[in-house]
Chains A and B, each alone.
Chain A
Amino acid sequence: DAKTTQPNSMESNEEEPVHLPCNHSTISGTDYIHWYRQLPSQGPEYVIHGLTSNVNNRMASLAIAEDRKSSTLILHRATLRDAAVYYCILSERGNAGKSTFGDGTTLTVKP
């Protein structure tokens, strides 16, 4: 299974942009890149996903490298409610979207 690598932790100040990196050098051509976040005592929550092109939604933006071996989740203005563990995963399109979760990045947002 293709795996992802993320920094263990990152810090940000409130109302500043946050760039969360993810490396996935063994990604295959049909793998989707998904980002989830998990707040304490909750299940993971979908944030955004993409295949090749950059994506934007109301929560965040996803920038995908041209060779698809890395991606960056961008939170444009961090709030205290964005403090969570962020997971970057690859979903196998040909296998029911089976995914392997790594350890994620714990984002701390300072007021």
Chain B
Amino acid sequence: DVKVTQSSRYLVKRTGEKVFLECVQDMDHENMFWYRQDPGLGLRLIYFSYDVKMKEKGDIPEGYSVSREKKERFSLILESASTNQTSMYLCASSLTTPLGPQHFGDGTRLSIL
């Protein structure tokens, strides 16, 4: 089974801090994704990557950046955390050929105080 592991289940940070959320997958998937999930707004795509060092903006990239230096790892970075970035963050990965389903981690619940 595909395993997508997010580094923390819960995280509390302060406004203005630089925050790193890490995601690792063990199935050699080309594609990786970062979403945030908020009540009433569903899952919204922040960034995705289809190869090492490649990244594409999703629907809500403002305030975030990403890094993909190795195929198995996709990092989400909050350059200067703000309270409106308090949310559940979900990472996923998938194959390109054939186009496979996305496999999700269990999420990181991030609180910015």
Contact = CB atoms under 8 A, between A and B. Distances in A.
User: Do A and B belong to a common assembly?
Assistant: yes
A97 B45 contact: no
A46 B37 CA distance: 17
Contacts of B40: 103
B42 A102 contact: yes
Given A43-B90, A44-B90, A97 B102 contact: yes
Contacts of A43: 4, 90, 92, 104-107
Contacts of B105: 43
Contacts of B94: 96-97
B59 A96 contact: no
B75 interface: no
A13 interface: no
Contacts, number: 64
Given A43-B104, A46-B102, A46-B103, A96 B56 contact: yes
Interface string B33-51: 1010000101111001110
A82 B51 CA distance: 35
Interface of B: 4, 30-31, 33, 35, 40, 42-45, 48-50, 56, 58-59, 90, 92, 94, 96, 99-107
13 contacts: A36-B101, A36-B102, A36-B104, A43-B105, A46-B102, A91-B99, A91-B102, A96-B30, A96-B31, A96-B48, A97-B100, A102-B42, A103-B42
Please list the 5 inter-chain residue pairs (A to B) with the smallest Cβ-Cβ separation, ordered nearest first. A43-B104, A96-B50, A101-B43, A46-B101, A96-B31
Given A44-B90, A98-B56, 10 more contacts: A42-B107, A44-B92, A91-B99, A96-B94, A97-B94, A98-B33, A99-B45, A100-B59, A101-B42, A102-B42
